[in-house]
Amino acid sequence: MKNYFEIYSLGGIVNLIYNTLKTKLFYPRAKLVRFPIDFRGKKHISYGIGFTTGRYCRLEAYPIDKKSLAILIGKNVQINDFVHITGIKKVVIGDNVLIASKVYISDSSHGSYSGDENDSDPNSIPKERLLFHKEVTIGNNVWIGESVSILPGVIIGTGSIIGANSVVTKSIPDYSIAVGNPARVVKAYDFNTNRWVKS
């Protein structure tokens, strides 16, 4: 059993007890929600057993069809302080995912900038531009490092790791380590040697 006095100060233990009681009251399926937290469109967000959050997280779900779930979080997912997740189409996070602090995940953006006929006019007001959206999927057992941004249309494969400060603009295969801006794969796990191998 953990010795919480080795981990937390007395004030930290009091805060932990307060957050645990409040979690059981308002988020009974979660393991621990650290307050304050901001759930916007709560009825469009689902989370599995064992869900844990840090403080000042913001999860906002505004599905286009007004009915479906826009953020689906699996079992035993841990998100840390200041994580911001936005879903208007669908953001799916698998089981046992670890997300560090200050991570941004979104399936949408104000406007389109891909170089086709749907591009947004730069003279228009940014917040009034048509929302562009494309589903985001994060596989099981993924670890996302500090201050990562994951943009619309990205799929992060099972067992992959995204290094701190990366900006993920394209999909990452299973069992890969990706870093940088834009993120690129630098290693992949070799199941024959049981080692991470440079790409």
**Residue 93: predicted pLDDT:** 98
Which positions are annotated as active-site residues?
A: 110
pLDDT value at 16 more than 50: yes
Q: How many other C-beta atoms are found inside a 10 Å radius of the C-beta of residue 161?
A: 22
pLDDT value at 4 more than 90: no
pLDDT in tens, 155-187: 999 999 999 999 999 999 999 999 999 999 999
pLDDT in tens, 80-93: 999 999 999 999 99
- Let me know if residue 137 belongs to a domain: yes
- Let me know if residue 182 belongs to a domain: yes
87 contacts 63 by C-beta, under 8 angstroms: yes
Residues spanned by the domain of 163 = 30-186
Burial of 114 (0-12, 13-18, 19+ CB in 10 A): exposed
- Let me know if residue 24 belongs to a domain: no
Q: Mention every residue, 6+ apart, whose C-beta is less than 8 A from residue 139.
A: 94, 155, 156, 157, 158, 159, 160, 174
**Residue 9: predicted pLDDT:** 84
**CA–CA separation, 128 vs 17, rounded Å?**
43
CATH of the domain at 49: 2.160.10.10
What pLDDT band is residue 8 in, cutting at 50, 70 and 90?
confident
Q: What is the mean pLDDT of residues 112-128?
A: 93
**Residue 2: predicted pLDDT:** 63
- Let me know if residue 96 belongs to a domain: yes
**Residue 1: predicted pLDDT:** 45
User: Could you tell me the pTM of the whole model?
Assistant: 0.93
What pLDDT band is residue 5 in, cutting at 50, 70 and 90?
low
* Number of domain units in the chain: 1
- Let me know if residue 147 belongs to a domain: yes
- Let me know if residue 108 belongs to a domain: yes
91 contacts 107 by C-beta, under 8 angstroms: yes
- Let me know if residue 142 belongs to a domain: yes
What pLDDT band is residue 103 in, cutting at 50, 70 and 90?
very high
pLDDT in tens, 24-50: 999 999 999 999 999 999 999 999 999
Pairing of strands 143-144, 98-99: parallel
**End-to-end C-alpha distance for the chain, whole angstroms:** 41
What pLDDT band is residue 10 in, cutting at 50, 70 and 90?
confident
- Let me know if residue 66 belongs to a domain: yes
